[in-house]
């Protein structure tokens, strides 16, 4: 078991001693002033209803809750020079330059979204904020240190040297030089970096009644003992945030992170609010959804409630693969086989090599099932996860999900710092990532954060599919033809992310409606193929899963292998009303929806066609294009809804 029993003594010793233990790549003076003393009547703390787009029946807002800029160690060392402000400009539709860069600083590539995003959280790694800032800014306390000289002179070596402590066991991970405590802990530089994050978010946020764009202050806690991924994105409700982010070197366990967020944010009467979103459970080799706490003790009800409260969402899909389900494991579900990484740890995902055996317990569907099992014994469900997707872009390009213009991941994988590598822009097992979609009354921090909290959210693998799900017992059979579908859904049921209590033994009924992504004239969206419901329930105390087609179904659609043009018919919209045929009113259950598009070309297919790679002609497979012949040519883009739970 990788979880260690030891923990930070500092947490037990009160705030003053706690400060002494702070080794964060961050930040400022250790006094009670660590906490922003913002008054609760701060006019910037919003109330719902300030926006002109207020819609009580809610609107789908598309965004990205996982983005790295040049403030992240791995991105920076791989050549990222995009600032937090640049990333927000990109999200709002402006063109920016991206790596590699010419010696005079000119970006060799540019990127621009075909459609702006509605919201973004920039989530740079908390661990080395001070180091990254200090090593780049002449005059900082760290700039002339030997370690910073190495950082600048030998970025490839620095990439591994500085990432190494992040792979240390939770109790042994500590900041290296030049951020040793006796060197100042990189605190001043970390404070400036954290301020840059906050200032850029504030400048990008549309506080007018137009509500055109929402930014969230955030960061990533990047614990990865043994390179097993436990990462969480930390997203704050508003501008009231702790005066430093908490990284792996500050708190080695996720429970420590949550306690720190309690102390620094949630327990403060200043309007601070926060949630955490785990990601890449697919690269945790079973660690992400373990059912023991940091001391190795089985979860209890208090733990389960705490986790469900602080972690209402999980990121199911991003650059580094899909975490929905393990093909061939839990149900007859051939469509589960989508963007599976061949690796189960961060190290192997970055370095490549022989594939790892994938671990069933790394996948969200399994966790949702384990949640039901734990609920039946604890009376609380620690894995009550709503669903989002995001990019995890390390190029500073939120929402750049188009398959036909993938620029690479930028943090792991191929280095694109000083020149473009020959062939594909990144390891072929990566992908352009997905989007988070939130159903909210308006495009404001208040409304979007509440949508996250109540799990009225879904994820897509990139397309802007509009997916709506309602669950209840008295929803109309004819809901799909009713012009009051939405109003009835809220009045008689719950939306995605909601919970149903028993209702006279009646079976759960779901109404699912999906519209295809219309795309743009230059990049039309794909047609829909089918809508599926995945049901999880308990049978003999153990989780079992079933997959149902509820609208659309298999078809003959495909892609033209010479042009990537779609071939065959699909649907512009699909709607289905489904009543659970094997409903057991005594058994807890969950239901989530998966919407599939017709097949389309995977990202590398476009680049392989352009390079005239023919896998039957070895001479055409030039350097860097080997991935053309190892990855599937086509794929099925999709959306995953948050579940609706039935809790007897």
Partner 1 sequence: MELAHLVRPVNGSIRARAFAVGKILAGFFAIGLALFGVRRALAPGTVTRHALVVHVDASSRDAEIARAIDDAILVDLATRAGWARSDAVVRERIRKSLEAVEDVSDAERTIERGLAMDLPRTDPVARARLVSVARASVAQRAPERAIDDVEIAAFIDAHREAFEVPGRVRFEQIFLSRSRRGDRLERDALELAARLRDAPDEIAASDATPLSFPGLVDEARLDALVGASFGAAVMRSPLGAWSAPIASPFGVHFVRVRELEARRTSTVDEARARAISVIREADRAAAFDREMVALRATYDVAIERRP
Q: Which parts of 196-215 interact with partner 1 (CB under 8 A)? A: 202-210
Only segment of 24-32, 57-65, 397-405, 430-438 that touches partner 1 (CB under 8 A):
57-65
Residue closer to partner 1 by CB (options 249, 545) is 249
Q: Does 540 bind partner 1 (CB under 8 A)?
A: no
Contact assessment for residue 283 and residue 344, using Cβ atoms and an 8 Å cutoff:
yes
Greatest pairwise CA separation for the chain in angstroms: 72
Residue closer to partner 1 by CB (options 565, 572) is 572
Tokens of 73: 């160690």
What whole-number distance in Å separates Cα of residue 446 and Cα of residue 454? 12
The tokens 């149900």 sit on which residue?
331
Buried b (16+ CB within 10 A) or exposed e, 259-298: bbbebbbeebebbbbbbbbbbbbbbbbebbbbbebbeeee
Residues in region 360-419 near partner 1 by CB under 8 A: 418
Q: At its nearest, how many Å lie between partner 1 and the CB of residue 407?
A: 22
Q: What is the DSSP string of 501-564?
A: ---TTPPPEEEEEEE---B-SSSBPPPEEEEEEEEEEEETTEEEEEEEEEEE-----EE-TTT-
Among 17, 20, 48, 164, interactor with partner 1 by CB under 8 A: 164
Name every residue whose Cβ is closer than 8 Å to that of residue 149 and which is 6 or more positions away in sequence.
Answer: none
122: three-class secondary structure by DSSP: strand
Q: At its nearest, how many Å lie between partner 1 and the CB of residue 178?
A: 8
State the DSSP code for 283. G
Distances (CA, A) of 521 to 115, 524, 525, 529: 11, 6, 9, 21
Q: Does 436 bind partner 1 (CB under 8 A)?
A: no
Across-strand partners of 543? 538
Among 27, 77, 129, 158, interactor with partner 1 by CB under 8 A: 158
Closest CA to 315 of 368, 254, 391: 391
Q: At its nearest, how many Å lie between partner 1 and the CB of residue 226?
A: 16
Tokens of 331: 């149900």
Q: Does 45 bind partner 1 (CB under 8 A)?
A: no
Residues in region 238-257 near partner 1 by CB under 8 A: none
What whole-number distance in Å separates Cα of residue 78 and Cα of residue 160? 11
Only segment of 35-43, 142-150, 259-267, 406-414 that touches partner 1 (CB under 8 A):
142-150
Among 24, 60, 218, 271, interactor with partner 1 by CB under 8 A: 60
Q: At its nearest, how many Å lie between partner 1 and the CB of residue 82?
A: 15
Q: At its nearest, how many Å lie between partner 1 and the CB of residue 31?
A: 22
Contact assessment for residue 285 and residue 343, using Cβ atoms and an 8 Å cutoff:
no
In which element (H, E) is residue 453 found? Answer: helix 445-453
Q: Does 50 bind partner 1 (CB under 8 A)?
A: no
Q: At its nearest, how many Å lie between partner 1 and the CB of residue 525?
A: 8
What whole-number distance in Å separates Cα of residue 289 and Cα of residue 362? 7
Residue closer to partner 1 by CB (options 285, 600) is 600
Q: Does 152 bind partner 1 (CB under 8 A)?
A: yes
Residues in region 286-345 near partner 1 by CB under 8 A: none
Q: Does 183 bind partner 1 (CB under 8 A)?
A: yes
Q: Does 572 bind partner 1 (CB under 8 A)?
A: yes
Across-strand partners of 342? none
Residue closer to partner 1 by CB (options 175, 510) is 175
E strand spans, 206-252 = 214-221, 232-236
The interaxial angle of helices 146-153 and 129-136, nearest 10 deg, is 80
Q: Does 155 bind partner 1 (CB under 8 A)?
A: yes
Q: Does 269 bind partner 1 (CB under 8 A)?
A: no
Only segment of 172-180, 271-279, 304-312, 391-399 that touches partner 1 (CB under 8 A):
172-180
Contact assessment for residue 276 and residue 233, using Cβ atoms and an 8 Å cutoff:
yes
Contact assessment for residue 228 and residue 285, using Cβ atoms and an 8 Å cutoff:
yes
Q: At its nearest, how many Å lie between partner 1 and the CB of residue 143?
A: 7
Q: Does 81 bind partner 1 (CB under 8 A)?
A: no
Q: At its nearest, how many Å lie between partner 1 and the CB of residue 311?
A: 27
Among 8, 70, 145, 281, interactor with partner 1 by CB under 8 A: 145
CB atoms within 10 A of CB 560: 10
Tokens of 273: 């609010």
User: Which of left, alpha, beta for 159 (phi over 0: left; psi -120 to 50: alpha)?
Assistant: alpha
What mask of x and - would describe binding to partner 1 in positions 448 to 467, judged by CB under 8 A? ----------------x-xx
Among 2, 50, 109, 176, interactor with partner 1 by CB under 8 A: 176
Count of alpha carbons within 13 angstroms of residue 402, beta-carbon side: 18
What whole-number distance in Å separates Cα of residue 125 and Cα of residue 246? 10
Q: Does 143 bind partner 1 (CB under 8 A)?
A: yes
What mask of x and - would describe binding to partner 1 in positions 575 to 594, judged by CB under 8 A? x-------------------
Among 1, 12, 14, 105, interactor with partner 1 by CB under 8 A: 105
What whole-number distance in Å separates Cα of residue 272 and Cα of residue 329? 42
What whole-number distance in Å separates Cα of residue 219 and Cα of residue 233? 6
Residue closer to partner 1 by CB (options 501, 518) is 518
Size of the chain in residues: 648
Among 4, 21, 59, 291, interactor with partner 1 by CB under 8 A: 59
Q: At its nearest, how many Å lie between partner 1 and the CB of residue 63?
A: 13
Residue closer to partner 1 by CB (options 421, 585) is 421
Among 50, 109, 115, 506, interactor with partner 1 by CB under 8 A: 115
Q: Does 57 bind partner 1 (CB under 8 A)?
A: yes
Q: Does 167 bind partner 1 (CB under 8 A)?
A: no
Residues in region 480-519 near partner 1 by CB under 8 A: 480-483, 485-486, 513-516, 518
Q: Does 357 bind partner 1 (CB under 8 A)?
A: no
Q: At its nearest, how many Å lie between partner 1 and the CB of residue 203?
A: 5
- How many residues bind to partner 1 according to rule CB under 8 A? 83
Q: At its nearest, how many Å lie between partner 1 and the CB of residue 591?
A: 17
Across-strand partners of 388? 315
Q: Does 87 bind partner 1 (CB under 8 A)?
A: no
Contact assessment for residue 472 and residue 591, using Cβ atoms and an 8 Å cutoff:
no
Q: At its nearest, how many Å lie between partner 1 and the CB of residue 233?
A: 24
Q: What is the DSSP string of 408-446?
A: --SSSSS--SSSPPSSSSS-TT-----EEEEEESSSSHH
Among 138, 540, 554, 581, interactor with partner 1 by CB under 8 A: 138
Q: Does 533 bind partner 1 (CB under 8 A)?
A: no
Q: Does 571 bind partner 1 (CB under 8 A)?
A: yes
Residue closer to partner 1 by CB (options 141, 346) is 141
Q: At its nearest, how many Å lie between partner 1 and the CB of residue 495?
A: 11
């Amino acid at each position: 078991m990788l979880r260690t029993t030891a923990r930070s003594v500092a947490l037990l010793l009160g705030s003053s001693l706690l400060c002494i233990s702070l080794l964060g790549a961050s930040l400022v003076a250790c006094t009670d002033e660590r906490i922003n003393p913002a008054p609760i009547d701060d006019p910037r703390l919003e109330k719902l209803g300030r926006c002109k787009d207020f819609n009580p029946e809610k609107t789908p807002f598309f965004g990205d809750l996982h983005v790295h800029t040049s403030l992240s160690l791995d991105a920076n060392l791989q050549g990222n020079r995009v600032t937090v402000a640049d990333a927000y400009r990109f999200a709002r539709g402006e063109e920016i330059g991206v790596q590699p860069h010419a010696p005079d600083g000119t970006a060799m590539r540019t990127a621009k979204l075909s459609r702006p995003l509605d919201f973004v959280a920039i989530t740079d790694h908390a661990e080395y904020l001070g180091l990254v800032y200090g090593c780049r800014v002449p005059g900082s306390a760290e700039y002339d240190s030997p370690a910073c000289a190495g950082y600048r002179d030998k970025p490839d070596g620095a990439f591994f040297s500085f990432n190494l402590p992040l792979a240390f066991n939770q109790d042994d991970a500590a900041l290296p030089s030049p951020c040793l405590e006796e060197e100042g802990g990189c605190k001043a530089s970390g404070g400036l970096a954290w301020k840059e994050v906050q200032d850029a978010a504030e400048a990008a946020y549309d506080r007018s009644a137009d509500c055109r764009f929402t930014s969230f202050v955030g960061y990533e806690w990047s614990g990865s003992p043994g390179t097993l991924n436990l990462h969480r994105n930390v997203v704050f409700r508003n501008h009231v945030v702790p005066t430093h982010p908490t990284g792996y070197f500050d708190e080695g366990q996720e429970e420590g992170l949550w306690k720190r967020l309690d102390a620094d944010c949630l327990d403060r009467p200043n309007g601070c609010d926060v949630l955490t979103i785990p990601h890449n459970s697919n690269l945790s080799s079973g660690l992400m959804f373990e059912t023991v706490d940091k001391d190795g003790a089985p979860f209890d009800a208090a733990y389960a409630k705490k986790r469900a409260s602080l972690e209402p969402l999980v990121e199911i899909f991003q650059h580094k693969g899909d975490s929905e389900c393990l093909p061939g494991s839990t149900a007859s579900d051939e469509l589960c086989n989508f963007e599976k990484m061949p690796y189960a740890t961060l190290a192997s995902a970055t370095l490549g090599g022989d594939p790892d055996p994938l671990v069933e317990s790394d996948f969200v569907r399994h966790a949702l099932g384990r949640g039901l099992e734990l609920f039946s014994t604890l009376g609380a469900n620690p894995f009550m996860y709503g669903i989002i997707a995001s990019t995890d872009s390390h190029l500073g390009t939120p929402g750049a999900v188009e398959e036909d213009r993938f620029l690479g991941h930028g943090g792991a994988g191929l280095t694109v710092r000083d020149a473009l590598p020959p062939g594909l822009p990144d390891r072929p097992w990566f992908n352009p990532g997905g989007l988070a979609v939130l159903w909210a009354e308006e495009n404001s921090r208040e409304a979007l954060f509440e949508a996250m909290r109540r799990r009225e959210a879904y994820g897509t693998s990139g397309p802007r599919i509009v997916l709506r799900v309602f669950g209840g017992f008295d929803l109309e059979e004819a809901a799909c033809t009713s012009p009051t579908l939405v109003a009835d859904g809220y009045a008689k049921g719950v939306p995605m992310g909601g919970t149903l209590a028993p209702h006279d033994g009646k079976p759960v009924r779901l109404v699912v409606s999906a519209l295809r992504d219309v795309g743009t004239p230059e990049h039309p969206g794909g047609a829909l193929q089918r809508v599926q419901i995945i049901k999880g329930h308990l049978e003999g105390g153990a989780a079992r899963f079933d997959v149902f087609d509820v609208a659309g179904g298999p078809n003959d659609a495909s892609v033209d292998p010479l042009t990537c043009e779609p071939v065959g018919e699909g649907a512009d919209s699909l709607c289905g009303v489904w009543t659970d045929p094997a409903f057991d009113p005594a058994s807890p259950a969950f239901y989530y929806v998966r919407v599939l598009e017709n097949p389309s070309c995977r990202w590398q297919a476009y680049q392989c066609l352009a390079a005239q790679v023919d896998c039957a002609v070895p001479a055409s497979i030039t350097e860097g294009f080997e991935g053309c012949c190892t990855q599937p040519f086509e794929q099925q883009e999709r959306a995953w809804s948050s579940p609706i739970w039935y809790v007897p």
